[in-house]
Structure 1
Amino acid sequence: MLRTSSEILAPIREKVEAGERLSFDDGLVLESPEAPLPEVGELANLVRERKNGNAGYYNINTHLNATNICVYRCSFCAFRSDLREAKGYWMQDDAILERGAEAVANGCTEMHIVGGLHHQAKYDWYRKVISLLHDNYPTLHLKAWTPVEIDWFSRLTKKPIRWVLEDQIEAGLGSLPGGGAEIFHPEIRRQICEHKADTRRWFETHRTAHELGLRSNCTMLYGHIEEARHRIDHLIRLRELQDETGGLQTYIPLAFHPENNKLGIDNHIKKPTALMDLRQMAVARLMLDNVDHIKAYWIMLGIGTAQLALAYGADDIDGTVRHELIYHDAGATTPEVMSVADIEAVIREAGRDPIERDTLYRKVDRTADGFTLGEKITAGV
């Protein structure tokens, strides 16, 4: 029996205890300051432990942002660069292969690949990023390309999204990350990322990927000009996609960093507080009843808040995250990499059991010669 006692949460508490789905209006209640955060967290923790027991998942991963030059000018982005800016870069084969070699040498099971949409780069270059890494480092799972990039590839090739994804799978693509979602509601989306792939294309990309057997993650960017109703709308749209396809494996709430970008500066936005971070984690765990995992991305949250999030619905804190640039360019002050020993200590300090997993949530067993992959970790244990 839960200890929550607030009258405002009583109907929701009954639904959660009975395993019933929450409504849009329930989501607004959970978002309300009148709903005590510790009690919302307690409800989320009940769902979290039903699904994932005491596990605290992590992986050994690295990031590759192969170019920061981008045709789009999203107001929230501090990572992008114009072609002639001093900070602009475009990695070629040797640099990409060097990054792959470093990843394998450091025991990585995953490379997370996203970046800018370089107006001089042909589609073949983006495909080659995948094929080079897959052919030379086949043990690396390549989690690559948001729907924004897939949509751009579709424009470059004048081919449908399905063709692009099939071609990328042939090159070695293993799964899709969850970026590019931002906020789905058109009131907000047209203000923060008007020109890039819209909500319809985001869902078409993930739906098609799931039809082709790929798994994907999903995200939401919060803490800027959106309101609670936009956030709950966003979560319900994701829940409906999961009802349809079952292909979403992890949801990652992403806090907006207002430093170094037009959206934050022009609107005098302050970084979301840790209390808001924890509420977004908990609300997501309660609303996304059909998504197995909720990730507390320590690079974005900070290590302390990520630890707390493991009691507010999250069961995963991501991984070693070598070479992350996008959040650091936006103002993140977290380390650029964390050791396995430190990650496991963070998880244990939060009272959870650290479990190394690969991108597809198979248990990783380390040996003197490398690693082996076990069966997929089943939600509910």
Structure 2
Amino acid sequence: MISVTPPVIEHILQKAIDGQRLTPEEGVQLLQSHDLTAIGAAADAVTRRLHPEPFRTYNIDRNINYSNVCAAVCDFCAFYRPVEHPEAYVLTKEVLFEKIQETVDLGGDQILLQGGLHPKLPLEWYEDLLRSMKEKFPQVNIHGFSPPELYHFHKISKLPLKTVLERLKAAGLGSLPGGGGEILVDRVRKLITRGKVLTDGWLEVNEAWHELGGRSTCTMMFGHVETLEERIEHLDRLRQLQDKTKGFTAFICWTHQAPGHAPWFGKDAEEGRKGGVDMSQIPEVGAFEYLKTQAVARLYLDNIPNIQSSWVTQGEKVGQMALMFGANDMGSLMIEENVVAQAGTVFHLSLDTIRRCISDAGYIPRQRNVYYEYIDEYPPTNAAPRPRPLPGLPVLATGSCGTGGGCSTN
């Protein structure tokens, strides 16, 4: 049976291809559609218009979780530990420096520094940490502290958010990751988290950082308790802020994976979880929904220049296919990853594999920095890229994908 794209979907897709802005209603219609091929082809066309160069990018960094202590309770998180738990930790500087040195030795220029909402560490502790890192590794960008962490620093220090960000920037903070976004709709956030910043606060952190001249990424974790309308509301809030600040460099989305062994430790944690959602019982969405949602995000987020594939959560094949569904970046080598791994999703790709995924998709792999500037030599080899796949051809997706962690992206 031949599937024909409905005229209303064709109209919406052509509108996006032509560079016109989609409405929220049109975004929802695309998410409701099952025409993955047409939506993917349109997203690919938009990506080629925004990035006509024959390159697709990746970066080399390491996700260092300086602590797993967190005062918040997130129903999807298998990584956090209460402050007094025997498995709770805060890394020493010596261990941190070893991890950074290993990253530099592998050609990395950045670390992704994140933890939980530690209830006892003062702002001065983070400033000292940043200064010592920049003193020892001045060439390394610190892509650090998710918006929930930064809002937490603001609350515990009782200082204005702008002051907190100014002090951390002066100490060496280079850019902000987009972790902890989940779904930027308060109904959803209140269902799946307690003690964590709500939508306006997450956006406020990014707006304040952008006003200081900083750059950040933005994310979405979907496929749990949100509706399709709420996915679009999330994208719309990001698009509105980007219109105002132009501070987001990239968008990354990934699917939720039910953590089969989420650690609800002790009476206090169980009390904190009351009123929440048992996300281990929510069916996981697979590659079809991931690729469609990423493609719709590319069509909807007309003012965010880059879309990053999430191979860390989707695996090699689906991560590669994301390059045909709106992504222009394969993301990070991710030398170390802890949050997603704790949820049971563990994919590891070598640098050669990441470069091969890009080459096999018909592009030339290039290493970039956090600002999406090329930092490698070109041409690296005499090998010509394979012909690019033509848009509009059927694509067969295999595999399932997902993650439970909300804070492990860059």
Q: How does 1:14-93 map to 2 (within 5 A)?
A: 14-32=14-32, 34-53=33-52, 54-93=54-93
Give the match for residue 379 of structure 1: none
Give the match for residue 358 of structure 1: 369
Looking at both structures, which has the greater relative contact order when contacts are Cα pairs under 8 Å and sequence separation is at least 6?
2
Distance 1:271 1:128, change over 3 A: farther
Can you give the 5+ residue segments of structure 1 that lack an aligned partner in the other structure? 368-381
Shift of 1:297: 1.7
Distance in 2 between residues matched to 1:4 and 1:49, nearest whole Å? 24
Shift of 1:266: 4.9
Give the match for residue 375 of structure 1: none
Any idea what the Cα deviations from partners look like across 1:4-41, whole Å, max 9, x if unmatched? 84323122133123211001111111101x34011000
Q: Does 1:325 align with 2:324?
A: no
Secondary structure in 2 matching 1:252: strand
Q: How does 1:202-221 map to 2 (within 5 A)?
A: 202-221=202-221
Shift of 1:167: 0.6
Distance 1:122 1:289, change over 3 A: same
Distance in 1 between residues matched to 2:238 and 2:79, nearest whole Å? 26
Shift of 1:63: 1.1
Distance in 1 between residues matched to 2:249 and 2:161, nearest whole Å? 21
Q: Does 1:292 align with 2:291?
A: no
Distance 1:88 1:308, change over 3 A: same
Can you give the 5+ residue segments of structure 2 that lack an aligned partner in the other structure? 265-275, 379-410
Distance in 1 between residues matched to 2:361 and 2:20, nearest whole Å? 28
Q: Which moved more, 1:345-354 or 1:79-88?
A: 79-88
> Percent same amino acid at aligned positions?
33
Secondary structure in 2 matching 1:111: strand
Pick one of 324, 341, 345 that aligns with 2:352. 341
Secondary structure in 1 matching 2:83: coil
Give the match for residue 278 of structure 1: 291
Any idea what the Cα deviations from partners look like across 1:253-304, whole Å, max 9, x if unmatched? 0211212337775561122200011011101000000000001121111111
Distance in 2 between residues matched to 1:244 and 1:120, nearest whole Å? 35
Shift of 1:194: 3.3
Secondary structure in 1 matching 2:375: strand
Distance 1:266 1:355, change over 3 A: closer
Cα contact 1:264–1:270 (8 A) shared by 2: no
Distance 1:221 1:164, change over 3 A: same
Q: Which structure 1 residue ranges, 4+ long, deviate > 6 Å from structure 2?
A: none
Q: Let me know the Cα RMSD of the aligned residues.
A: 1.8
Distance 1:26 1:266, change over 3 A: closer
Distance 1:366 1:104, change over 3 A: farther
Shift of 1:215: 0.5
Secondary structure in 1 matching 2:149: helix
Letter matched to residue 45 of structure 1 = D
Any idea what the Cα deviations from partners look like across 1:101-156, whole Å, max 9, x if unmatched? 22212211110011112223222222222222111001111100111111111122
Give the match for residue 381 of structure 2: none
Give the match for residue 188 of structure 1: 188
Letter matched to residue 356 of structure 1 = Q
TM-score, length of structure 1 as denominator length: 0.91
Give the match for residue 8 of structure 2: 8
Letter matched to residue 354 of structure 2 = I
Distance in 2 between residues matched to 1:99 and 1:155, nearest whole Å? 30
Distance 1:157 1:176, change over 3 A: same
Distance in 2 between residues matched to 1:46 and 1:203, nearest whole Å? 29
Distance in 2 between residues matched to 1:215 and 1:266, nearest whole Å? 32
Secondary structure in 1 matching 2:112: strand
Cα contact 1:258–1:264 (8 A) shared by 2: no
Shift of 1:223: 0.7
Q: Does 1:169 align with 2:182?
A: no
Q: Which moved more, 1:286-295 or 1:145-154?
A: 145-154
Distance in 2 between residues matched to 1:267 and 1:321, nearest whole Å? 26
Letter matched to residue 233 of structure 1 = E
Q: Does 1:114 align with 2:114?
A: yes
Distance in 2 between residues matched to 1:91 and 1:279, nearest whole Å? 39
Q: Does 1:201 align with 2:201?
A: yes
Secondary structure in 1 matching 2:166: helix
Shift of 1:190: 0.8
Distance in 2 between residues matched to 1:155 and 1:16, nearest whole Å? 41
Distance in 2 between residues matched to 1:264 and 1:49, nearest whole Å? 40
